[in-house]
Structure 1
Amino acid sequence: MNTSTQPYHNSAMEISDPSRPSPDGDDTWTKGEQQPRKFNDVAFGLLFYLHLIGMVACAGVYAPQMFTNIAANMDNDGGERELLDSSSMSGNNHGLVTSRLMSWVVGASQQIFGGLSSTSLLSNRALEEENDANDGTNDFNDLLLLLSISAIVACVISSLALTVMISHAKGMIMCSLVFNILASLVFMIGAFFVSPFGAIMGIFMVAFNAYFAYVVWGRIPFAACNLATATSAVKANLGLSFVAYSSLITMFCWSAFWLVSAVPTIYITSGCDAQAGACENEANGLVVFLLLVSFYWTYQVIQNTVHVTVAGVVGTWWYVPIEASSFCSRSIGDSYFRSLTYSFGSICLGSLIVAIVESLVTMVRNLRESGDGGSVFLCIAECLLALLRDIIEYFNSWAFTYVGVYGYSFIEAGKNVMSLFKTRGWTTIITDTLAQSVLSLVSVGVGLITGITSLIISYTHGMVFGDELGASAAAFFIGFTTGLVLTSTLLSLVSAAVNTVIVCYADAPAEFRVNHPKLSDDMHAGWAAAWPEQFR
């Protein structure tokens, strides 16, 4: 929450006495308080920066060595192929999952650094010859045109979706539930003509979606009012979209840099040589694990920085709406600054926990897929780790919301927010994910629209991406992916805002009633209808 103008915040906090029961008749609870500006969880912030320095050092030391080795053996057409084969076919148990990971990262490096690979050069030459045969229709300009139009369509439709959500959130949720049933019904009918097993799966999907709709139908008012309130807050501060889209660009740049650092590190430390077509040693499991932690940690930090920023802006909109009611409101810059400074250590701490578990999931999955034995136990381990990851991410989503609104440290925020929900009797309420399901469906829907748009443009302009079927699939995939990614990025703001709305409504309902009376009345009615026992 914006703390640049402390008098505003103090006056807002005086609206509701923490020792007084809520206007909804709940028991007393300890209200969150705006924390003084200080750096929290500093050690983890410093550790994150040290890890980035380490990745830069790996890139600086190992990348030139790998590129020199590959460039010196560019005339050996089979060297790199043999290297990949020998790595992927290795059956040494002491290699852990690293032989498969080595194959994956080297393959990824060939796509990014194709100019240094003889095999990539051959494939590029073949592609150029095919392009000449197709009168040059398959070129970069076509791809750029599809990406540009898909991006414009996605931005327009997703922006309209935000407007519709405010006044028609209930209808959108109903449509999403019905759409899931119809989509599974279409799948079932199509599966009948393919295989009996597919038909059985289709029947199961129809039954599950129908039962799910039946169970959650009574909670639609609850999800609708949360969605409408969160969307109102985001739309009032739509400059948050720049934060979201810049994070998307940052993630892409980080992924590219990580490959520049990780691939050469594994290549050189394993003693790989393009001319020999083999590696002297199996890739070190600890090195691979640390590289995976690095990738997931940074990814989580970028993602959670956006989450904390949104929580701060929505918190300001909740308490002091005058400071958070314009496209580029002051609260956006203040919240973003605090996420990158005072709360950055807390973000790094929570993100590191998820990154470690995610890395373990990846390594266990690759071990299981390598087929070296013990696949049943590895499958169980993977499921347990994935469950642990989901639990941690669930906890983090609420903890980061409290960090963004009040500025607590990560551990303190997690304890306080869970204590708040327990005291309020809302531990069941916070498990409802109906609003998030609608956001996911909207993202897929926009992706389908942009995919079809891209397909039409490709057909009308005579674009060729391989054979006729491949051209259609490629054009649709380009449009679908662009629309899905851009819409998901924008709606992730709403998802984070939904969590913030629930936290703030649990902690400060009186402030909401004063600052946003119409939305407050809708929230009260929707929550009371869906959760009459928990919401008294």
Structure 2
Amino acid sequence: MGPALIEYAHLDGARRKEEGKRPDGGGPTEMGEEEVVVVAVDSSPLTKARVSKLQVSHPVSSLQVAPQGLPAQARSMAPSFQPTPNLVPLSLSISLFLAMTPTSGASLNSRRYTNRISLFLFLLHLLAAGAAISFFIFKAVMGIVEAEGPHRRRERHVLSFWLPPVEGAAVLSILLAFAWQKAVRAYPTLLTVRLIVWSSAAATLAAGILLLCFSMPTTDGAGLVLIIFSVGVGLYACWVTRRMPFAARVLARSLQPAEAKFRTLNRPSYAMMLAGAVWITLWCFAVIGALNFYYPPLTILALILSLMWTAEVMRNVANLTMSRAVALYYLRGMQSDVSYCFQRAATVNLGGACLGSLFVPAIEFCRIIARALNLLEGEDEFLFSCAHCCLHVMEAVFRYGNSWAYVHIAAYGSGFVEASQSTWGLFERSRMEALVDADITSAICFLTGVASGSLCVIFAASWTYSGHRHYTATVSLLAFFVGYLMTRIGMALPQACVGCYYVCYAENPTSRFFLNDSTIADRLDQIRNGREATGFTPRLPRRYTPSV
């Protein structure tokens, strides 16, 4: 290093002495001492060149991080220029960005298994169900190949007249699931939404009338239930007519990432439908063997409950797979591998799917019943109070268990209850409760399953009645059940996309993916200004009673 020249300079000594302040702008100097700044200057040519370059360069302002809660006046007091620029590392800036997000404490690659108790119970149930189905299939085969006896005749009879219509209904339900999913993905328009709602009502009505035409006590009861349900669907379609255009717009917006970025996003639902068809086939053989077991009604009821839970878990595994891919795209701009998302959904996040599959359908069903009872406002104050109490209880329970939780289960690996609370908390923070509460896209997916189930009833009941009418009611019930479950698995894609669309908007409304999309913002403005009905539970006016 070359010789250095040490210069002593008085920096505004007289002026600062009069003001009684330090040269660095701090507090007053002690005993009126003059402050002297010592500057070391390297006189080597290389250092001079560096100094000359630094002198001509423009000063760079330091990074200023101000919380959003501070007022504008406090933020304006921050210095706009610092003589010595501070360079912030890239890793620190990324960590600051992640810390400012609402879910800063969550990890996108959490390896912690969610809801381990429910996962253990489901795996134990699956093991027991597999063993029982294998045992009943063995009994069915042994009964069929038996040389002579009543069991052989009965099981062959069931195999000939009961199994083929159910398997045909399973194949038809897969085709209908493909058709519904393709219609929603290719044509997410108002016409498609109206077609789904009204076709569900029409198909249910047709299936009910067909069962009534068979003129048997068992089919008459099932047909009457379907007709009543079709009337309810028709009334619901009239009630939500004003919400259908917004539902079509949400479907179109939410399905854009799936169509543009994830062309293979529908494969998990196809895989789950194939697995469901295989499981239903084995289940049907097991029912044949269970007919000759102890307490056949209770045994078959246990098999039905097992099938319901297993099929619902399959649907939610597909839902979690698609939710992770779409949610990471909205939140971080990442294009995740669909196969890796499926692997996480089937392993790490399987416990959340198992717990949600148990409670979400029951909670939503009870919530619908509570809302229906809440319509009965009349002279009976006791009934009115009970309905209000049930509604408030279900609204409180809904906070701890709802279908929006699957987005945070898939994205952050949260538990089911924790994810339900966090997603609903996001909706409350963004004041979106009325919007998501009035959403009908989940009802649209439900009605596609009802329509497919009704068409499967028409197909299977006609086939069974022409061969052996004694099994018509049983086959019709099972065909509806199979058609509904398979279609709901296929419709997991649009439901997952809509869920991610709402939750990710509530988490970060200023994301670049929502800058040019005013769908939710406009709807919220309409709701807050009272220009749009949000579908709250309507009230029947009290009967007029003249005062005495």
Q: What's the TM-score, normalizing by structure 2?
A: 0.54
Distance of 2:228 and 2:416 partners within structure 1: 45
Distance of 2:300 and 2:338 partners within structure 1: 38
Counterpart mapping for 1:242-253 below 5 A: 242-253=267-278
Q: Is residue 510 from structure 1 mapped to residue 510 from structure 2 by the alignment?
A: yes
Distance of 2:418 and 2:329 partners within structure 1: 23
SS in 2 for 1:420: helix
Q: Is residue 228 from structure 1 mapped to residue 258 from structure 2 by the alignment?
A: no
SS in 2 for 1:33: coil
Of 345-354 and 303-312, more deviation after overlay is shown by 345-354
Summarize the Cα distance change of 1:239–1:202 in structure 2 as closer, same or farther, 3 Å threshold: closer
Q: CA deviation at 1:393?
A: 12
SS in 1 for 2:432: coil
Counterpart mapping for 1:168-247 below 5 A: 168=189, 170-173=190-193, 209=234, 215-236=239-260, 237-247=262-272
Per the alignment, residue 51 of structure 1 pairs with 125
Q: Does the CA contact (< 8 Å) of 2:319 and 2:496 recur in 1? A: yes
Per the alignment, residue 182 of structure 2 pairs with 159
Stretches of structure 2 lacking an aligned partner (at least 5 in a row): 1-89, 211-222, 365-389, 533-548
Summarize the Cα distance change of 1:262–1:241 in structure 2 as closer, same or farther, 3 Å threshold: same
Distance of 1:66 and 1:354 partners within structure 2: 36
Matched letter for residue 494 of structure 2:
V
Distance of 2:454 and 2:519 partners within structure 1: 32
Q: Is residue 306 from structure 1 mapped to residue 322 from structure 2 by the alignment?
A: no
Q: Does the CA contact (< 8 Å) of 1:155 and 1:486 recur in 2? A: no
Summarize the Cα distance change of 1:217–1:69 in structure 2 as closer, same or farther, 3 Å threshold: closer
Per the alignment, residue 426 of structure 1 pairs with 432
Match 1:37 to one of 106, 110, 116:
110
Counterpart mapping for 1:4-153 below 5 A: 14=97, 17-18=100-101, 33-40=106-113, 41-59=115-133, 62-63=135-136, 66-67=139-140, 70=143, 74-77=147-150, 80=151, 117-121=152-156
Q: CA deviation at 1:220?
A: 4.1
Distance of 1:312 and 1:298 partners within structure 2: 21
Match 2:522 to one of 517, 521, 525:
525
Summarize the Cα distance change of 1:424–1:345 in structure 2 as closer, same or farther, 3 Å threshold: same
Matched letter for residue 242 of structure 1:
R
Distance of 2:432 and 2:255 partners within structure 1: 22
Q: Is residue 297 from structure 1 mapped to residue 309 from structure 2 by the alignment?
A: yes
Q: Is residue 495 from structure 1 mapped to residue 495 from structure 2 by the alignment?
A: yes
Distance of 1:263 and 1:144 partners within structure 2: 14
Per the alignment, residue 403 of structure 1 pairs with 409
Matched letter for residue 239 of structure 1:
T
The structure with higher relative contact order (CA 8 Å, sep 6+) is 1
**Structure with greater Cα Rg:** 2
SS in 2 for 1:240: coil
Distance of 1:483 and 1:255 partners within structure 2: 11
SS in 2 for 1:395: coil
Counterpart mapping for 1:439-518 below 5 A: 439=445, 488-511=488-511, 514-518=512-516
Distance of 2:313 and 2:181 partners within structure 1: 25
Q: CA deviation at 1:243?
A: 0.8
Summarize the Cα distance change of 1:491–1:233 in structure 2 as closer, same or farther, 3 Å threshold: farther
Matched letter for residue 507 of structure 1:
E
Q: CA deviation at 1:339?
A: 0.7
Q: Is residue 350 from structure 1 mapped to residue 356 from structure 2 by the alignment?
A: yes
Distance of 1:156 and 1:234 partners within structure 2: 17
Distance of 1:70 and 1:204 partners within structure 2: 40
For residues 204-241 of structure 1, what are the alpha-carbon distances to aligned partners after superposition, in whole Å with 9 as ceiling and x for unaligned?
9889846x566544444542332122222332324222
Matched letter for residue 277 of structure 2:
F
Distance of 1:407 and 1:342 partners within structure 2: 8
Summarize the Cα distance change of 1:449–1:515 in structure 2 as closer, same or farther, 3 Å threshold: same
Summarize the Cα distance change of 1:154–1:435 in structure 2 as closer, same or farther, 3 Å threshold: closer
Summarize the Cα distance change of 1:357–1:418 in structure 2 as closer, same or farther, 3 Å threshold: closer
Summarize the Cα distance change of 1:175–1:504 in structure 2 as closer, same or farther, 3 Å threshold: same
Q: Does the CA contact (< 8 Å) of 1:297 and 1:354 recur in 2? A: no
For residues 48-91 of structure 1, what are the alpha-carbon distances to aligned partners after superposition, in whole Å with 9 as ceiling and x for unaligned?
3333333344456x4487358736865223xx4xxxxxxxxxxx
Higher helix residue share? 1
Q: CA deviation at 1:264?
A: 5.5
Distance of 2:196 and 2:140 partners within structure 1: 50
Summarize the Cα distance change of 1:523–1:342 in structure 2 as closer, same or farther, 3 Å threshold: same
Number of residue equivalences: 397
Distance of 2:455 and 2:307 partners within structure 1: 32
Q: Does the CA contact (< 8 Å) of 1:297 and 1:351 recur in 2? A: yes
Distance of 2:168 and 2:302 partners within structure 1: 39
Q: CA deviation at 1:506?
A: 1.0
Q: Does the CA contact (< 8 Å) of 2:359 and 2:401 recur in 1? A: no
For residues 424-472 of structure 1, what are the alpha-carbon distances to aligned partners after superposition, in whole Å with 9 as ceiling and x for unaligned?
33333222242234445667789999999x9xxxxxxxxx99979x9xx
Distance of 1:12 and 1:447 partners within structure 2: 50
Q: Does the CA contact (< 8 Å) of 1:447 and 1:480 recur in 2? A: yes
SS in 2 for 1:428: helix
Summarize the Cα distance change of 1:483–1:311 in structure 2 as closer, same or farther, 3 Å threshold: same
Q: CA deviation at 1:399?
A: 2.0
Counterpart mapping for 1:236-275 below 5 A: 236=260, 237-258=262-283, 267-268=292-293
Q: Does the CA contact (< 8 Å) of 2:254 and 2:497 recur in 1? A: yes
Distance of 1:58 and 1:35 partners within structure 2: 39
Summarize the Cα distance change of 1:219–1:208 in structure 2 as closer, same or farther, 3 Å threshold: same
Stretches of structure 1 lacking an aligned partner (at least 5 in a row): 1-6, 19-28, 81-116, 128-139, 191-197, 273-278, 324-329, 359-383, 455-463
Q: Does the CA contact (< 8 Å) of 2:193 and 2:248 recur in 1? A: yes
Summarize the Cα distance change of 1:506–1:524 in structure 2 as closer, same or farther, 3 Å threshold: same
Match 2:327 to one of 315, 333, 350:
315
Q: Does the CA contact (< 8 Å) of 1:176 and 1:441 recur in 2? A: yes
Summarize the Cα distance change of 1:15–1:483 in structure 2 as closer, same or farther, 3 Å threshold: same
SS in 1 for 2:318: helix
